[in-house]
Amino acid sequence: MSQQKFIDSKRVKFWIKKILWRHIIGAFVVSFSLFPLVWMASAAFDVTGQLSTQQLIPLHHGLDNFVQLFSNKEKPFLTWARNSLIIAFSAAALQTAIGALAAYSLSRHRFKGRKLTLTTIIIVQMFPQLLAATTLFLIVNSLGNTFPLLGLGHQLPLILLFGGTALGVNTWMLKGFFDTIPSEIDEAATIDGASHLMIFTKIIIPLAVPVFVVISLLSVIGILNEYLITSVILGLDGKNMTVAVGLQQFIYGQYGKNWGPFAAGALLATVPVLTLFIFLQKYLVSGLVSGSTKG
């Protein structure tokens, strides 16, 4: 019995020294990450709609904020959500397609200026979008005089702008993944008579599905949360705004801030992202670590 107690005490000490602290850190990280979401959900169901009296568990709870969110004709939340999804998914698909083509060329072909191109792409990404806001406004405004669909207040120019926003980062990520695919596969397919387009579409794309999923998901999240460029290009017309820009209308101004509907809309805006994470989670781990084993 004494030997068994000694073994049990050693196990307890080992668990405390080696495992317990990991559980504590994990619980802290999870709590720290979930607290903003829990607080936002609490504010969404708090019918008072006041941050000064906000509590983690609201005393007066109900669905009034959601009713006000959907019944306000001057602030059409469903229209904003539709605009956000159209712009986000269209721009994400464009980003992924352009990045994949550029990364395949930089990974498989050797040409003069290749290293300079890679360096230039990553350097351009160092500059924030704020520096380009005025320039983009002037360009789109000028294009609108000739091509109305490419002018201010339309979704098409915003989709095109977002299509090139993360091109540098996406190209680098995809190139790193393409470098891990043996070039012998391309050579064997070329001997069998396959063109570069067939190799890319029939061989490379199926192998690169995980990293495509990660890039597309990150692009969608970034575009859904983008405020500055979206507000500059689309303006403040209620029917053209996205969720990120439109919800700001509930708390705009010195008086009459409606934090309740704002929190309700923000909570509903997380549903598409959470849904994507749930359905695409099997690709995320392999996609995030892809390209890390070979430069």
For residue 287, pLDDT beyond 70:
no
Tell whether 45 and 168 lie within a shared domain: no
Inter-residue contact 173 to 61 (CB < 8 Å): no
Q: Are residues 264 and 166 in the same domain?
A: yes
DSSP tag of 150: G
Task: Look at residue 69 and tell me if it is in a domain.
Answer: no
**Given a cut of 80, is residue 217 above it in pLDDT?**
yes
Please tell me whether residues 133 and 275 are part of one structural domain. Answer: yes
Same domain, 222 and 272: yes
User: Quick check: helix, strand or coil at residue 60?
Assistant: coil
Q: What confidence score (pLDDT) does residue 146 get? A: 86
The residue length of the chain stands at 295
pLDDT tens-digit series, residues 161-210 = 888 777 777 888 888 888 888 888 888 888 878 887 888 888 888 888 88
Cα–Cα distance between 106 and 232 in angstroms, integer? 34
Q: Which residue has the higher pLDDT, 236 or 33?
A: 33
Residue 67 within a domain: no
55 & 110 share domain: no
Q: Note whether 221 and 85 are same-domain residues.
A: yes
Range of the domain at 31: 2-62
Give the percent of the chain with pLDDT over 70: 87
Confidence band for 295, pLDDT divided at 50, 70 and 90: very low
In a domain, 68, yes or no: no
pLDDT band at 292 (very low <50, low <70, confident <90, very high): very low
Which token pair is 117?
A: 């191109």
| Same domain assignment for residues 16 and 132 | no
The token pair that represents 260 in the structure block: 């309740």
Residue 198 belongs to a domain: yes
**Burial class, 151, CB count within 10 angstroms (exposed 0-12 / middle 13-18 / buried 19+):** middle
Same domain, 217 and 268: yes
Return the ∠ at Cα 153 (arms to 65 and 74), rounded to 5°.
25
What is the total count of domains within the chain?
A: 2
Give pLDDT tens digits for 254-282: 555 678 888 888 888 888 888 888 887 77
Mean pLDDT across the chain: 81
Tell me the per-residue pLDDT of 15-65, one tens digit each, with 9 for 90 and over: 777 777 888 888 898 888 888 888 888 888 887 767 666 777 777 778 888
Q: What mean pLDDT do residues 239-259 have?
A: 77
> Does the pLDDT at position 291 exceed 80?
no
What is the DSSP code (8-state) at residue 51?
S
